[in-house]
Amino acid sequence: MTAQRDVVVPEADEHVCPLPHIPEAVAVVRRRVRTVLADWNLAPDLAEDALLVISELITNAVVHALPPAVLRLSRAGTGGRSALRVEVTDAGPAAADGRPVADPCPGEHGRGLDIITALAAECGTRVHPGGITWWAELLAA
Task: With cut-offs at 50, 70 and 90, classify the pLDDT of residue 4.
Answer: very low
Phi, psi of 61 (to 5 degrees): -65, -40
H-only helix segments in the chain? 25-39, 44-64, 112-119
What pTM was computed for the model? 0.79
pLDDT at 76: 83
- Half-sphere exposure (Cβ direction) of 122: Cα atoms closer than 13 Å: 5
Domains (range + CATH), the chain: 13-98+106-139 (3.30.565.10)
Q: Which of the pair, 78 or 37, is modelled with greater confidence?
A: 37
* Nearest one of 25, 15, 49 to 139, comparing CA atoms: 49
Q: What is the mean pLDDT of the chain?
A: 83
The conformation of residue 87, written as its DSSP 8-state character, comes to E
Q: Give the contacts of 84 (CB within 8 A, at least 6 positions apart).
A: 37, 42, 46, 50, 73, 74, 75, 137, 138
Percentage above 90 pLDDT, the chain = 61
Which of 50-64, 76-90, 126-140 shows the lowest mean pLDDT across its residues?
76-90
